[in-house]
Amino acid sequence: MRIEELFKQHDVETHPVVKFNTALPLDLGAQNEALSKVDLNNEASFDQFIFNQIASSGKDVGIGGYGEVRSLYSRSELFEGEEPRTIHLGIDIWSKAGTPVYCPFQGEVHSFANRNVHGDYGPVIILRHKLMDLEFHTLYGHLSKSSIENLSVGQKISTGDQFAFMGTYEENFHWPPHLHFQLIRNMQGYKGDYPGVCKSSGKEDYLTNCPDPSFFIY
């Protein structure tokens, strides 16, 4: 059974991972020609591209990216290889640094780390959740350094608890402030990390293991 269907079937309360009233769908896909005019390795340029769109729309945040094919990862060696990784496995919520992040459903800290490599998550937290007999995980990337201070594996976090903040450009390792939010069925042995972007050849398996997390956002 799909995770979303199980929550609906049992009428289980959840909490949005970020509080907002209105959202602008943001396209960072490879077909967006506007991206070709942006210096993605320049903080001001990348920041303006994202936040000027949000401001001009009058919306609170920018949201998008699940399953999106992106060429922008070529700016980092982290995603390169014989077959580059281009498929985004989570949803990005773009907002100012310091924006609070909330627990969507009761759980505990599975793992955390500071992935301090250009293009990576920077500070990241992974929570483990269980509903009935179903165990699943949620990943929160591009957080502030303060979010992982005084954190411990196994620490309980309740539905609606504010437990992290979005990081600055420097903290979240050279991305404009945003939350990468990802739903993961099986962690496959990973701790403090899980791929947020996959190769096209692995798309089917990864998107099956990482279903659309929109249910915990809207």
Nearest-CA neighbor of 141 among 105, 106, 177? 177
1 pLDDT above the threshold of 90: no
Indicate the pLDDT class of residue 180, thresholds 50, 70 and 90.
very high
Please compute the mean of the pLDDT values over residues 150-173 and round it to a whole number: 95
Task: Output DSSP code: residue 119.
Answer: T
Residue recorded with tokens 């303006």: 48
Predicted structure pTM score: 0.94
Domains in the chain with CATH codes: 3-216 (2.70.70.10)
- As beta bridge partners, residue 213 has none
Q: What is the pLDDT of residues 110-150, one digit of tens each?
A: 999 999 887 789 999 999 999 999 999 999 999 999 999 99
Indicate the pLDDT class of residue 37, thresholds 50, 70 and 90.
confident
Share of the chain above pLDDT 70, in %: 95
Q: What is the per-residue pLDDT for 210?
A: 97
CA-to-CA distance for 85 and 138, rounded, in angstroms?
21
Instruction: Tell me the pLDDT of the chain averaged across its residues.
Output: 92
Q: What is the pLDDT of residues 55-89, one digit of tens each?
A: 999 999 999 999 999 877 766 566 666 678 889 99
CA-to-CA distance for 212 and 217, rounded, in angstroms?
10
CA-to-CA distance for 52 and 213, rounded, in angstroms?
26
Q: What is the per-residue pLDDT for 205?
A: 97
Q: What is the per-residue pLDDT for 42?
A: 85
- Outline where the chain has alpha helix (H): 3-9, 43-57, 203-209
Report for 17-31, 32-46, 112-126: range of highest mean pLDDT: 17-31
Q: What is the per-residue pLDDT for 75?
A: 62
Q: What is the per-residue pLDDT for 179?
A: 98
How is residue 101 written in tokens?
A: 């992040």
